[in-house]
A and B are shown apart, each in its own frame.
Chain A
Amino acid sequence: MVRIAVDLNRCQGYAQCAFLAPEIFAMHGDEALLYDPEADDAPREKLDRAAAACPVQAILVDAVEPGGLEPGAADAPAEGVSRAR
């Protein structure tokens, strides 16, 4: 599972992501973008390609695992950093 957020202030509707990872990103009308905020593991490679291809770098993807979030629990230490922005 990968978490995704798109900075839609930045997004200019180039639709590169919708071509590269249509399972996750889709244009809605001429300019608006809809996306699945939590994609399953399978298309991670596609997702990374889509994020990298965004001309305005508007796609934010998990760079680390969040770790424990139970009340009182501490986060897991940083690991598996793939592409922090």
Chain B
Amino acid sequence: MPGDGSLEQLKREGRIVVVGASLAGLRAAETLREKGFAGSLTMIGDEPCEPYDRPPLSKQVLLGRASADRTALPRLRSVDATWRLGSPATGLDMAARRVRLADGDEVPYDRLLIATGVRARRWPNEAEAELDGVFSLRTRDDSAALARRLDAGPKRVLVIGGGFTGSEIASACRERDLPVTVTERGAAPLVGALGGVVGAVAAEMQREHGVDLRTGVMVTALEGDASGRVRAAQLSDGTSVEADVVVVSLGALRNTEWLAGSGLGAGPRGIACDAGCRAFDIRGIVTDDVYAAGDVARCPHPLFGYQFLSLEHWGNAVSQARIAAHNMLSESTDRLPHMEVPSFWSSQFGVNIKSVGIPSMGTEILIAQGSLTDHRFLGVYGYQGRVIGAVAFDHGRWLPFYQELIESTAPFPPTFATVDRRPEGQRPLDADFPDPSVPTHGPTVTLSGYSPADRRMTFTPAH
């Protein structure tokens, strides 16, 4: 709809459909209303409940300090929407501008926002995945079920995968004094997202808190007893671990299968879109009426060489949803790029971990403040002579300063002096990220260039 008054008509009486009723979908809907959209708004969600917040599910809820069914997101304004909850979208007809639902209904749209997010990667062996006591953690039902089982006092919890979610689960278990084993195929926990130097600190934290941490190993099989309850896991080093609760924490898969055959540029790495959140079709041509936001979107980022980034971050979902909503109602010259610097947090083993920028793009790290041995430090990541990311362990208040360095492409190693720089922070170290050809669990940023061939990529499970 070019500048012929049709935009005003869209705002007045258009139909906007949002597929995905979680954080990104809700914040987009609120922004659409805030920007004066008065037409019909339909929210489509696969889960039967209203939008809820996920970060508490691996923290407060597992600690028994909050209930999984009580993490609904606060409403910042009325969205006056028609909610189609519990009926997942199953198809998209771009030519007819319709979304198909599992119950057979078709919902027509003038503008479509796709915010279908990701889901937990399941244990690849179907029979083993079905064993009683095998969990994953993504939804509120997952969290409620796992919390119930932890309440019952299992003999040992096995967490498969030492990414952020897996580490938070292990932390909650130790805080509840439950024996826990973590297996990680990389050299250390968090290694995919933060590299080996910081991963070594994460490993130390786990062991100091009594986690039986096994690195460089994979779980090759889960064993059940006669009544179908999980009882043990076989590891690739020939050992086994007896556990009556197993949490599969092997990262996430993007929910794009429902778009197969639609002609949209969607695949295992997400939905390719431009910096303004407009989705590409498989020919690499940008669409005018289909937008994407949140974990499922993959956008070129001006600060990072216009590489296409997929970010599984709470803050990214919020800011990208707002940009997408704004752009859906704007003339082309009024559109805004999604330029927010990536940032995320995690708390585990009593330490607050926060990050800005893209640590996993870094090749070097400099401990600019504090000390690795104290588990309180600020690490700056460098890439080709510039500051590209930073991570803080209980040093979060300094991050806005480092964010400015990233935004201004400041030189690396940084030239400023700090009051608390230790001898180990005098020179950069190799950040020690795993060889990209060896997948590790739980990196929260995917970097890649866009190619229409991506949609033919297939994921090969690690196990």
Contacts and interface: CB of A to CB of B under 8 A. Distances in A.
Interface string A1-14: 01111011101110
Nearest to B395: A31
Nearest to B67: A38
A13 B396 contact: yes
Contact of A7 (B60, B78, B80, B315): B315
Interface in B312-338: 314-315, 318
B256 to A, nearest CB: 24
Given A8-B354, A31-B396, 11 more contacts: A9-B343, A11-B396, A13-B396, A30-B352, A32-B352, A36-B66, A37-B56, A37-B70, A75-B83, A78-B78, A85-B76
Contacts of A38: 66-67, 70-72
Contact of B74 (A11, A60, A79): A60
Contacts of A75: 78-81, 83
17 contacts: A8-B354, A9-B314, A30-B350, A31-B352, A31-B394, A32-B347, A35-B60, A36-B65, A67-B78, A68-B83, A71-B86, A72-B83, A75-B78, A75-B81, A77-B80, A78-B78, A85-B76
A30 B394 contact: yes
A70 B66 contact: no
The 7 closest A-B pairs by CB, nearest first: A78-B78, A32-B347, A31-B352, A38-B70, A29-B350, A32-B352, A37-B71
B85 to A, nearest CB: 6
Nearest to B316: A9
Nearest to B55: A8
B397 interface: yes
A5 B114 CA distance: 23
A74 B394 contact: no
B396 A34 contact: no
Given A34-B65, A75-B80, A28 B350 contact: yes
A68 B345 CA distance: 33
B330 to A, nearest CB: 22
A62 B84 CA distance: 22
B351 A32 contact: yes
A81 interface: yes
Nearest to B86: A71
B87 A71 contact: yes
B73 interface: yes
Most chain B CB within a 10 A radius of its CB, from A4, A71, A84? A71
B352 A13 contact: yes
Contacts of B315: 7, 9
B345 A63 contact: no
A3 B66 contact: no
Interface residues of A, number: 43
Interface of A: 2-5, 7-9, 11-13, 28-32, 34-38, 60-79, 81, 84-85
Contacts of B72: 3, 37-38, 66
A71 B71 contact: no
B49 to A, nearest CB: 8
A76 B78 contact: yes
B155 interface: no
Contacts of A68: 83
A8 B248 CA distance: 25
Nearest to A65: B75
A7 B212 CA distance: 32
A42 to B, nearest CB: 15
A66 B50 contact: yes
A11 B73 CA distance: 17
A36 B350 CA distance: 18
Given A37-B66, A37-B70, A5 B53 contact: yes
Contacts of B84: 71-72
A29 B239 CA distance: 35
B82 interface: yes
A64 B77 CA distance: 6
Interface in B296-317: 314-315
B82 A73 contact: yes
Nearest to A30: B394
Contacts of B55: 8
A32 B351 CA distance: 7
Contacts of B111: none
A21 B65 CA distance: 15
B59 interface: yes
Nearest to A76: B78
B450 interface: no
B71 A74 contact: no
